Chain A
Amino acid sequence: MNRREALQRAGLVLGYAVSAPVLAGVLKGCKAAPELTFKPDFFNPDQAAIVSEVAEIIIPKTDTPGAKDVGVPGFIDKLVKECYSKEDQDRFLAGLKEFDEGADDFMDLDHDKQVAYVKKVHDEALAAMKSGASKERPFILKMKELTLVGFFTSEPGATQVLQYEAVPGAYRGCVPLSEVGKTWAT
């Protein structure tokens, strides 16, 4: 039994649930981990926390909503559970573990260091993909893909960051971009 399990069991024995962030806080001394914005169904609380933070780093809240605001972490949890094969799920979790280990506990880093680490891993992964050194899409790029899908198929992503017309009514094939404005969501 490791320390985490021991604490969780203690919680059960004492009749109260130890929430993931509290648990994380206990485990790591003092640093308070951010509250999860969703109840994970597939990920464990630690994995869910990392997925949430990475998604928010890929698409942060600015003057428009970010990944957490529109429910991207919950979207990823559900998609990996329902749409990934067992093999792909295992690969995703192994990639997540490797990502976490590379940071020597990602959730322990402060926000700026988390952003810098994500950026570094991301850039290296892209470079490896582009040079053909890496064939399989690594964890960070799967995360990026899932974050983009979750975000831009959400209403705020489609209508506030991009633009969306449910019923365009006409097709104009050759129009100055300045007239159209920004990228269509679909």
Chain B
Amino acid sequence: MNLNTELQKNNSFDAIVVGTGISGGWAAKELTEKGMKTLVLERGRMVKHLEYPTAAMDPWQFPNGDRPTQEDLKQQGVQNRTGYTVKQSSKHWFVNDLENPYNEVKRFDWMRGYHVGGRSITWGRQSYRLGDLDFEANLKDGVAIDWPVRYKEIAPWYDYVEKYIGVSGQNEGLYQLPDGKFLAPMELNCVERELKKSMMDKFGRMLTIGRTAHLTEKLEHSPQRGTCKFRDRCIRGCPYGGYFSSLSSTLWAAEKTGNITLRPNSIVYELIYDDTKGKATGVRIQDAETGEQTEFYAKVIFLCASTFGSTHIMLNSTSSRFPNGFGNDSGELGHNIMDHHLSVGANAEAPGFDDMYYSGRRANGVYVPRFQNIGKDKREYLRGFGYQGGASRQGWMSMVAEMAIGADLKQAIQTPGMWTIGLGGFGEFLPYHENKVYLDKEKKDKYGLPTLTFDVELKDNERKMRKDMSREAAEMLSAAGFTNVKEYDKEIGPGLGIHEMGTARMGRDPKTSVLNKFNQVHACKNVFVTDGSFMVSSACVNPSLTYMAFTARAVNYAMDEMKKGNL
């Protein structure tokens, strides 16, 4: 046996999964549970469940009241565009921007972390299904291309992933927001109940408790996970496994099978394409610590490196067969970037509930399902938006603007401040071919790899929608009797929804799409892409649950195809 075949043997697996976030974790779980020896590659550092350095810390254990220092802002200035991630308690889950640069033709906010578990550690956990209102939208509106999937095909997979990850929520029987398999819902507070009643009475609109991937009941199949303890420190990682992450759930399941090999610090920079076989035979990686380059081989490859991560790999994988990027016969790879546009809505004060309060910190809010452009409702823009928000009583920070100081202040602060309530819109973002990302081969990162350049903007449809998003919120808050209602619309870069999607969309026609309806690359049957890049439209709901459902379905399909000898 010569060295080459030895390497080939040691570095060969049944399957390779690139990425360990929401999608990668699901691919790893499904593949390993079906008996596939699976190599899971993660570009960032190793993290194991329970290795959350700040999770158990109290407020007084953080320097500077948990604020970022000037040095933090120098290292993570782009990541700090969220305003909530670069803190002493959570900054280690976000990249160093100096070491991980990208380029912006127009402002674009790319928020991410490189470590095992990816953004499944820091995600917002809101979990909603797309419905046929969404799957049929492009076809009906004549926008972009049609989704190759309808709700009834994906519904069983939504059932499957919801039951596994545990989603707390309330079924409401709405066409635009399909019901799910939910654990007990969390409670609304007094002011939210008031708004719910008013919205139904005066507008016939629904307000429901957020559907969130938290355990309000134990899951028998995941004994390692406990229920949510209402600490609201999710972004630090949960030592109870109270919310779903790859670490607490899917990677744990994959580990249990004995079929997973997890390799951190492994930057996949290229797919290996074999022209004679018409297949990808593996991937090339660069070790983030040693710089060493290695090849790994497998029968089937799942790209789950995040929308732009996977797109970077595909754009960088050129060959005589794919001169413009892997599987890019359509020319759509890197195009049609979508996010959800947000930071627009209204706030108000809610008088009349001074004798009521709450206990516990609910890491969840209220949800107002889309009501625009449904049935007889017609707007001057396409699609629509939902609201996320909630009510709370002001705490000590509000005292800055109160007259009291001294002993008076100490006394006054012990009574909670006024109730305030807010509704923030999450708007659908249409897929525009010209909203794109591409490689800059001149400008390289510290690994010598080309960097990404973003050219993305909101257009007329989104701007019209934003006006409606703040106006409708204000109208509903006023109608509920709340006071001092204020609309807001903060200019942000696209990307700040951290719901990037669309750069390798699925479709029926290989001429206009990169993937088929099973997330399989049209032009290379043994490569699947199941992160947000497959999305054909953005809908207005948080997308992670949809990535999970499509990933599980794609693995199931890949295994069937393998059995039939088609891969």
Q: Hey, which chain A residues are within 8 Å of B230, CB to CB?
A: 168-171
Q: Hey, which chain B residues are within 8 Å of A182, CB to CB?
A: 414-416
Q: In the complex the two chains form, what is the Cα distance from A79 to B362 in whole Å? A: 29
Contact between A82 and B358, CB atoms less than 8 A apart: no
Interface-located stretch among B42-50, B65-73, B129-137, B174-182: B65-73
**Residues B57-106 near A (CB distance < 8 A):** 58-60, 62-71
Most central of B358, B407, B410 by chain A CB within 10 Å: B410
Contact between A59 and B67, CB atoms less than 8 A apart: no
**Residues B385-415 near A (CB distance < 8 A):** 393, 395-397, 399-401, 403, 405-407, 409-410, 413-415
Given A62-B410, A171-B360, verify A83-B400 contact (CB < 8 Å).
no
Contact between B395 and A183, CB atoms less than 8 A apart: yes
Minimum CB–CB distance for B412 against chain A, Å: 10
Q: In the complex the two chains form, what is the Cα distance from A175 to B358 in whole Å? A: 5
Contact between B413 and A153, CB atoms less than 8 A apart: no
**Residues A129-154 near B (CB distance < 8 A):** 129-130, 141, 144-145, 148-150, 152-154
Contact between A155 and B400, CB atoms less than 8 A apart: no
Q: In the complex the two chains form, what is the Cα distance from A12 to B351 in whole Å? A: 62
Contact between B410 and A122, CB atoms less than 8 A apart: no
Number of residue pairs A-B, CB distance < 8 angstroms = 162
Q: In the complex the two chains form, what is the Cα distance from A85 to B71 in whole Å? A: 10
Given A168-B231, A180-B358, verify A155-B405 contact (CB < 8 Å).
no
Given A153-B66, A183-B415, verify A144-B406 contact (CB < 8 Å).
no
Given A79-B65, A79-B67, verify A175-B356 contact (CB < 8 Å).
yes
Q: In the complex the two chains form, what is the Cα distance from A173 to B191 in whole Å? A: 9
Q: In the complex the two chains form, what is the Cα distance from A150 to B413 in whole Å? A: 15
Q: In the complex the two chains form, what is the Cα distance from A78 to B88 in whole Å? A: 14
Closest Cβ neighbor of A172 among chain B residues:
B359
Interface presence of B563 (CB below 8 A): no
Interface presence of A96 (CB below 8 A): no
Q: In the complex the two chains form, what is the Cα distance from A6 to B469 in whole Å? A: 65
Most central of B64, B190, B362 by chain A CB within 10 Å: B64
A161: contacting residue among B70, B413, B417, CB under 8 A: B413
Contact between A180 and B410, CB atoms less than 8 A apart: no
User: Interface extent on B, as a size class?
Assistant: 35 or more
Q: In the complex the two chains form, what is the Cα distance from A175 to B67 in whole Å? A: 32
Interface presence of A176 (CB below 8 A): yes
Q: Interface size (A, Cβ < 8 Å)?
A: 56
Minimum CB–CB distance for B227 against chain A, Å: 9
Q: Hey, which chain A residues are within 8 Å of B229, CB to CB?
A: 167-169
Q: Hey, which chain B residues are within 8 Å of A161, CB to CB?
A: 410, 413-414
Contact between B400 and A173, CB atoms less than 8 A apart: no
**Residues B352-403 near A (CB distance < 8 A):** 354-362, 393, 395-397, 399-401, 403
Contact between A171 and B187, CB atoms less than 8 A apart: yes
Contact between B67 and A174, CB atoms less than 8 A apart: no
Q: Hey, which chain A residues are within 8 Å of B403, CB to CB?
A: 123, 126
Encoded as 1 (CB less than 8 Å from any A CB) or 0, chain B from 213 to 233 comes to 000000000000000011100
Most central of A62, A119, A171 by chain B CB within 10 Å: A171
Q: Hey, which chain A residues are within 8 Å of B59, CB to CB?
A: 153, 158, 164, 185-186
Given A119-B405, A153-B59, verify A173-B189 contact (CB < 8 Å).
yes
Q: In the complex the two chains form, what is the Cα distance from A167 to B353 in whole Å? A: 26
Contact between B359 and A175, CB atoms less than 8 A apart: yes
Closest Cβ neighbor of B56 among chain A residues:
A166
Encoded as 1 (CB less than 8 Å from any A CB) or 0, chain B from 414 to 441 comes to 1111000000000000000000000000
Q: In the complex the two chains form, what is the Cα distance from A24 to B230 in whole Å? A: 51
Contact between A57 and B186, CB atoms less than 8 A apart: no
Q: In the complex the two chains form, what is the Cα distance from A91 to B358 in whole Å? A: 40
Contact between A168 and B414, CB atoms less than 8 A apart: no
Contact between A185 and B231, CB atoms less than 8 A apart: no
**Residues A43-72 near B (CB distance < 8 A):** 57-60, 62, 64
Contact between A59 and B60, CB atoms less than 8 A apart: no
Interface presence of A177 (CB below 8 A): yes
Minimum CB–CB distance for B462 against chain A, Å: 30
Minimum CB–CB distance for B67 against chain A, Å: 5
Interface presence of B192 (CB below 8 A): yes
Contact between A174 and B396, CB atoms less than 8 A apart: no
Minimum CB–CB distance for B298 against chain A, Å: 43
Minimum CB–CB distance for A163 against chain B, Å: 9
Q: Hey, which chain A residues are within 8 Å of B356, CB to CB?
A: 174-177
Contact between A171 and B58, CB atoms less than 8 A apart: no
Given A82-B64, A83-B68, A171-B187, verify A183-B358 contact (CB < 8 Å).
no
List chain A positions with a Cβ less than 8 A from chain B.
57-60, 62, 64, 75, 78-79, 82-85, 115, 118-119, 122-123, 126, 129-130, 141, 144-145, 148-150, 152-155, 158, 161-162, 164-180, 182-186
Can you sample 27 A-B contacts with CB below 8 Å?
A: A57-B405, A57-B406, A60-B407, A75-B65, A79-B65, A85-B70, A119-B405, A129-B401, A144-B399, A153-B60, A155-B58, A158-B59, A162-B413, A162-B414, A167-B229, A168-B230, A168-B231, A168-B359, A169-B360, A170-B230, A171-B187, A173-B187, A174-B189, A177-B356, A178-B355, A183-B395, A183-B414
List chain B positions with a Cβ less than 8 A from chain A.
56, 58-60, 62-71, 186-190, 192-193, 229-231, 354-362, 393, 395-397, 399-401, 403, 405-407, 409-410, 413-417
